[in-house]
Amino acid sequence: QVQLQESGPGLVKPSETLSLTCTVSGGSISSYYWSWIRQPPGKGLEWIGYIYYDKSTNYNPSLKSRVTISVDTSRTQFSLRLNSVTAADTAVYYCARHELGGNPRFDYWGQGTLVTVSS
Amino acid sequence: QSALTQPASVSGSPGQSITISCTGTSSDVGSYNLLSWYQQYPGKAPKFIIYEVNKRPSGVSNRFSGSKSGNTASLTISGLQAEDEADYYCCSYAGSRTFVFGGGTKLTVL
């Protein structure tokens, strides 16, 4: 059974960089696409971006200037960096898997991790 | 790239059927049959219940069905049950290898 687990600081200061890692277990990281999705408290879901195991990426145009997603296949992990954060970036951040780059069929999700941006 | 439009809330009584709409544009929902629906309970990660407009993953009840007409997709839940009370989100391919979610709909089972 594939499992995803997000990890990283739960509190980030304004203007700093948010960094999260998603560890994949129970399955291969190869041949799949791996996305980050976030959800501000009490609000809806927002797709942030994805990476393929070959390190190719695509990002939400509204966040593209601040986002970097990377992958470490040897450690079956992929990571999110979001710089210059503000309070608007406070959200539960999820990692999720999909089989095709153009198909929003997110079949496995992490449990989510809350990141609060505050001084 | 704007969020897809969903009603904020819908409600129904046990046994009834309800439909949740998801309206986009000709650049996303209207152009691709690449739309999924997700069910989310409070404090939990979303779970996909419909993909490619009208396909159900294994293990998902056949009470859930999806359809699309033009720029609007719909999720129908028949034989409503108390356990269906949750938030529901649509998500569409939006071109250029990007995705867009709907704002979410809270389903209340009366």
Secondary structure (H, E, C), B58-100: CCCCCCEEEEEECCEEEEEECCCCHHHCEEEEEEEECCCCCEE
Hey, of A1, A5, A45, A107, which one would you mutate to test binding to chain B, going by the most B CBs within 10 A of its CB? A45
A80-103 per-position pLDDT tens digit: 999 999 999 999 999 999 988 889
* Chain-chain contact of B102 with A109 (C-beta, under 8 angstroms): no
Answer whether residue B1 shows pLDDT above 80.
Answer: no
Alpha-carbon gap, residue B106 to B8, rounded angstroms: 6
Among B95, B38, B24, smallest CA distance to A103 is for: B95
Q: pLDDT averaged over chain A?
A: 96
- Span A62-86, average pLDDT: 96
Hey, of A33, A59, A67, A106, which one would you mutate to test binding to chain B, going by the most B CBs within 10 A of its CB? A106
Residue B60, pLDDT score: 97
**Residue B29 near residue B72 (C-beta atoms within 8 A):** yes
Alpha-carbon gap, residue B45 to B63, rounded angstroms: 21
Interface membership of B3 toward A (CB under 8 Å):
yes
B10-45 per-position pLDDT tens digit: 999 999 999 999 999 999 999 999 999 999 999 999
Residue A31, pLDDT score: 85
Which residues of B fall within a CB distance of 8 Å from A22? none
B48-100 per-position pLDDT tens digit: 999 999 999 999 999 999 999 999 999 999 999 999 999 999 999 999 999 99
Residue B68, pLDDT score: 97
Alpha-carbon gap, residue A20 to B56, rounded angstroms: 31
Answer whether residue A5 shows pLDDT above 80.
Answer: yes
- Span A53-60, average pLDDT: 94
Residue A104: strand, helix, or coil:
coil
